[in-house]
Amino acid sequence: MWVTISAAAYVLLEGVAIYFAYRAVAKARTPQGSIAWVAFLISMPWLAVPAFLLFGHTRFRGYVIARRDSQEVIAGVGTYSKAHPASGVGGPFGFNAFEAIAELPVVGGNGFELLVDGAETFDAIFAAIDAAEHYVLVQFYIIHDDRLGQDFASRLKAASARGVTVRLLFDSVGSAGLPQDYLDDLRAAGVHVVNAHAIYGPRHRFQVNFRNHRKTVVIDGQIGFIGGLNVGDEYMGRNAVYGAWRDTHCRLAGPVVMQLQLVFAEDWHWATETLLLPDLDWQPEPSEQNMDALLVATGPGDVLETGSLYFCACISRAMKRIWIASPYFVPDVDVLSALKLAALRGVDVRILVPEVIDHRIPWLAAFAYFDEIRTAGVRVWRYDAGFMHQKVLLVDDEIASVGTTNMDNRSCRLNFEATVLVFDPRAAAAVEEMLEDDFARAYLLETDLNEQPWQRRVGAPFARLLAPIL
């Protein structure tokens, strides 16, 4: 009897595995991902079927873009963009590729200020919130109920108390440990608090795909912030395990703030089915710095592989150098090939990654790629003066990028991300100076994988097999 039931259950499980294998072939974003899933599902269905339910979904159907639901705002954004065109032409490659990825135009008249480390970042953000007159839009992937989290909440509540409209989006996966009391306290103070997945998407940490990884603050439609820092004491360097936390945010002014605000409005619309667009200011004052900039928001709702295309577009146009700082280095085949080709044609390609571990599997998987890119001439620098979490990119002397996008499959295909591209030598020079300081606190990797400790030699190839879901 039990044998018959067990056999029937196994046949049913195999049937489910075969169906999921078909879905992997039909829907996976890369051939490597589909092949990996098919082999895993057919050979070990008892393990692979639950894993596929957690990790196997890589496209986010039905993501409603708020800008497409309001023709009035589309017209307004277009008119304002035409009133503030880019002052440059984007060099020999132009702006077309980036504009197509972003579905937005490069605009001129922007201000850009680097914020290096948690103190600079949150001093600037808190000062802006304290000075807000009309509204504050805030979005973070991780919010902790700790010293920084309490200070953050106090600023939001104080703004609300003086009549400022405050809206907060948080990700329920990244902020899984945030107590309900923290959220209830904010709501009681008049802050509009919304889970980014309130209607769609993951609700808990076991649903790992489709996280909203963006970190955005917009003040009165005039000032914006974006970068790698979340709200937690570790980002201030107060965690002994990670040490001095190295991260980068930036302060924006000018028309690009309108684009940052638009992405927030899209996410709010997705989470609430409510349009914010008519309630916001869509005419930010131009900055005297007059820099060209573009907000590139990517995610699994996009038709194109926008995250990967963003990296490839930056790498392929580099003539002199491409420097990339990322806490995780698990690139897809296209990005890997672009990096190697850039190095082979003589471009100074540098990858800055942390020596300190926060997530062991992606940290380990990176070692399976290092030999391959080093052979082509890419230089890998390992930051060991604390944990490095910044997501920064520098192309030649012309383009600087600061945002939330890591160089891994999760950022490129599974998360909602955003980064600002600034097309200006002054921004590039500021990022160059910052990264030069980081390289001075890092060491150049010069040992092959077969010379690494045995745990890395054995573990790295297996960790790389998980690349499609890292």
Q: How many CB atoms lie within 10 A of CB 283?
A: 14
Catalytic member of 197, 389, 408, 438 = 389
Q: Tell me if 386 sits within 8 A of 246, measured CB to CB.
A: yes
Question: Cα–Cα–Cα angle for 361, 297, 172, nearest 5°?
Answer: 55
Q: What share of the chain is helix, strand, coil (3-state, %, to 5)?
A: 45, 20, 35
Q: Hey, which residues does 115 pair with through a beta bridge?
A: 249
Helix, coil or strand: residue 329: strand
CA 138 to chain centre: 16
d(CA 70, CA 280): 13
Which H helix or E strand runs over 393? strand 392-395
Sequence-ordered alpha helix ranges (H) in 28-57:
31-43, 45-55
Query: What is the DSSP annotation of 199-220?
Result: SSS--STT--SS-B---EEEET
Catalytic residue among 213, 249, 269, 340: 213
**Known catalytic residue: 391?**
yes
Which element (helix H / strand E) includes 165? strand 165-170
Tokens, residue 260: 């940052």
Q: Which one of the listed residues 267, 340, 391, 408 is annotated catalytic?
A: 391
* Number of H-type helices and E-type strands within the chain: 15, 17
CA R_g for the chain: 22
- Give the other-Cβ count within 10 Å of 380's Cβ: 22
Partners of 421 in the β-ladder: 294, 401
Choose, from 220, 247, 292, 408, the residue flagged as catalytic: 220
Give 169: exposed, middle or buried? Use CB within 10 Å, 0-12, 13-18, 19+: buried
Which helix (H) or strand (E) is 248 found in, with range?
Answer: strand 248-253
Is 340 part of the annotated catalytic residue set?
no
- Tokens read off for 468: 């499609």
Residue 402 near residue 314, CB atoms below 8 Å: no
Which of 287, 265, 316, 277 lies closest to 98 in space, CA to CA? 316
Q: Which residues contact 303 (CB under 8 A, 6 or more apart)?
A: none
Catalytic residue status for 220: yes
Please identify which of the residues 145, 396, 424, 438 carries the catalytic annotation.
396
Q: How far apart are CA 195 and CA 404, in angstroms?
A: 19
Residues belonging to the chain: 470
Residue 389 annotated to the active site: yes
Q: Would you say 381 and 255 are in contact if contact means Cβ atoms under 8 Å apart?
A: no
Catalytic residues: 213, 215, 220, 389, 391, 396
